[in-house]
């Protein structure tokens, strides 16, 4: 009886077309190399046409899906070349996003913060406020707070967070004293004069005073003929960066729906000033099926030691919680 061929022999042999394991599967190998190059060299992709660079960087973590997808044909074809090529995208993805796979809820830190776009059509503001209060953060930054919903949020939060700043549709609740607060003008040219989505307050934290900013940048639009339409957001980023550059407090914390991921080059002017932003994972938007994290906690002279999302509320964003070491 003919003995079945062992798997090792099949890998060492040739296929019906006479190709060895190193000569077959080159389309799969080339695709893996392309994915790896996009992960490692995304900053080199030009943004001139349709802002393709920012579009790629917004969904950059999703390139990791290509690794298991390409692994299947590599194994079926018994292609050593494809398996070796997959090391590049696999290693690049882990280097960029692997930290986001580690548990963050128990990370050490001096301050716990929550960032949440609560949604201007949220049907349950009191329940949302209770959900944010449940993890006992020191600071809560909020966007899309409407005047009609403010009393419901205040009724739940004020007894525990006696210090509050509200400007336009953004707000900050704090366990610790606010020494001052003011709006921050990040309104792009041509927007409604009543558009006010930024504030700054000095908070007397246990480890020292910190300037805390809460911001909500303009949304982006995807479509023809403009492609990834981020011009108003990018202008607002530059205005916010100008305010941060002029900030005299050494410790700065930003809580915001920035409509930007940490790798999106549109956020670069802010990211350069606030280098600690935590991992790109987990995702926060949209709440029903998150595909990106556009809600950010960023800092200077403080380190984001852990970042995680909280259960869904009545908003289309998930709340983002973080711990910071001052």
Read off the pLDDT of residues 207-258 as tens digits, 9 standing for 90 and up: 899 999 999 999 988 765 567 788 999 999 999 999 999 999 999 999 999 9
- 139 lies in the same domain as 59: no
Tell me the helix, strand and coil percentages in the chain, rounded to 5: 35, 25, 40
Neighbours of 64 (CB within 10 A): 19
- Cα atoms found within 13 Å of the Cα of residue 194, Cβ hemisphere only: 1
Give yes or no: residues 192 and 213 share one domain. yes
Domain boundary among 66, 100, 134: 100
Distance (Å, rounded) from C-alpha 10 to C-alpha 3? 13
Judge whether residue 298 has pLDDT over 60.
yes
User: Do residues 252 and 194 both lie within one domain?
Assistant: yes
- Is the pLDDT assigned to residue 8 strictly greater than 60? no
Select from 249, 247, 244 the least CA-distant residue to 269: 244
Q: Does residue 123 share a domain with residue 14?
A: no
Is residue 174, in this structure, part of any structural domain at all?
yes
pLDDT of residue 12: 65
Q: Which residue has the tokens 């009393």?
A: 151
- Gap between the Cα atoms of 152 and 132, Å rounded: 13
Residues 59 and 115 in one domain: no
Instruction: Answer whether 260's CB lies under 8 Å from 267's CB.
Output: yes
pLDDT at position 3 is 52
Pair 119, 323: CB distance under 8 Å: no
Closest CA to 52 of 230, 311, 194: 230
Within a domain: residue 4?
no
Do 220 and 91 lie in one domain? The reply is no
Regarding whether 82 and 114 lie in a shared domain, the answer is: no
Judge whether residue 293 has pLDDT over 70. yes
DSSP conformational letter for 78: T
Q: How far apart are CA 166 and CA 99, in angstroms?
A: 34
286 neighbors 256 (Cβ within 8 angstroms): no
Same domain, 204 and 298: yes
pLDDT in tens, 87-126: 999 999 999 999 888 777 667 889 999 999 999 999 999 9
Specify the CATH number for the domain of residue 144.
3.60.10.10
Give me the domain span that covers residue 63. 9-100
Phi, psi values for residue 166, rounded to 5°: -130, 125
End position of a domain, from candidates 67, 100, 133: 100
Domain boundary among 100, 131, 160: 100
DSSP secondary structure letters along 230-284:
-HHHHHHHHHHHHHHHT---S-EEEEEE-SS-TT-GGGHHHHTTS-B---S-S--
* 1, part of any domain: no
182, 213 Cβ separation under 8 angstroms: no
Q: pLDDT grade, residue 25 (50/70/90)?
A: confident
pLDDT band at 7 (very low <50, low <70, confident <90, very high): very low
The 10s digit of each residue's pLDDT in 34-45 is 999 999 999 999
Which tens digit of pLDDT belongs to each residue from 173-195? 999 999 999 999 999 999 999 99
Res 80: pLDDT: 87
Q: Domain tally for the chain?
A: 2
Burial of 301 (0-12, 13-18, 19+ CB in 10 A): middle
pLDDT at 295 over 80: yes
Q: What's the pLDDT tens digit per position in 125-141?
A: 999 999 999 999 999 99
Residue 269 in any domain: the answer is yes
The string of pLDDT tens digits covering residues 149-176 is: 999 999 999 999 999 999 999 999 999 9
85 and 37 part of one domain: yes
**Do 96 and 112 belong to one domain?**
no
Decide if pLDDT at 22 tops 50.
yes
Q: What is the largest CA-CA distance in the chain?
A: 88
Confidence of residue 305 (pLDDT cuts 50, 70, 90): very high
pLDDT in the model for residue 171 = 98
What's the whole-model pTM score? 0.90
Residue 78: band (very low, low, confident or very high) from pLDDT cuts 50, 70, 90: confident
The number of C-alpha atoms within 13 Å of 31 and in the hemisphere containing its C-beta is 17
> Is position 160 within any domain?
yes
């Amino acid at each position: 009886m003919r003995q079945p061929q062992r798997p090792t022999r099949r890998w060492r042999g040739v296929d019906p077309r006479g190709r060895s394991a190193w000569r077959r599967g080159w389309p799969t190998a080339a695709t893996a190399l392309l994915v790896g190059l996009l992960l490692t060299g995304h900053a080199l992709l030009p943004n001139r046409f349709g802002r393709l660079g920012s579009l790629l960087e917004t969904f950059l973590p999703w390139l990791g899906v290509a690794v298991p997808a390409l692994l299947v044909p590599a194994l079926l074809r018994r292609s050593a070349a494809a398996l070796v090529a997959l090391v590049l995208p696999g290693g690049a993805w882990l280097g960029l996003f692997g930290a986001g796979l580690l548990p963050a809820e128990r990370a050490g830190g001096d301050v716990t913060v929550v960032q949440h776009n609560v949604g201007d059509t949220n049907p349950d503001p009191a329940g949302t406020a209770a959900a944010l209060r449940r993890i006992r953060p020191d600071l809560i930054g909020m966007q899309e707070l409407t005047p009609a919903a403010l009393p419901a949020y205040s009724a739940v939060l004020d007894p525990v967070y006696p210090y509050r700043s509200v400007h336009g549709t953004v707000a900050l609740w704090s366990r610790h004293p606010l020494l001052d607060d003011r709006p921050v003008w990040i309104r792009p040219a041509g927007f409604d004069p009543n558009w006010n989505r930024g504030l700054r307050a000095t908070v007397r934290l246990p480890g020292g005073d910190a300037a805390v900013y809460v911001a909500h940048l303009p949304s982006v639009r995807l479509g023809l003929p403009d492609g990834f339409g981020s011009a108003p957001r990018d202008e607002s980023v530059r205005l916010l960066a100008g305010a941060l550059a002029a900030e005299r407090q050494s410790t700065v914390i930003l809580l915001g729906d920035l409509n930007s991921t940490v790798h999106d080059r549109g956020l670069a002017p802010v990211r350069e000033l606030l280098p600690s932003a935590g991992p790109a994972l987990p995702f926060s938007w949209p709440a029903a099926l998150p595909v990106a994290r556009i809600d950010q906690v960023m800092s200077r002279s403080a380190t984001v030691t852990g970042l995680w999302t909280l259960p869904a509320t009545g908003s289309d964003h998930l709340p983002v919680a973080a711990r910071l070491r001052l």
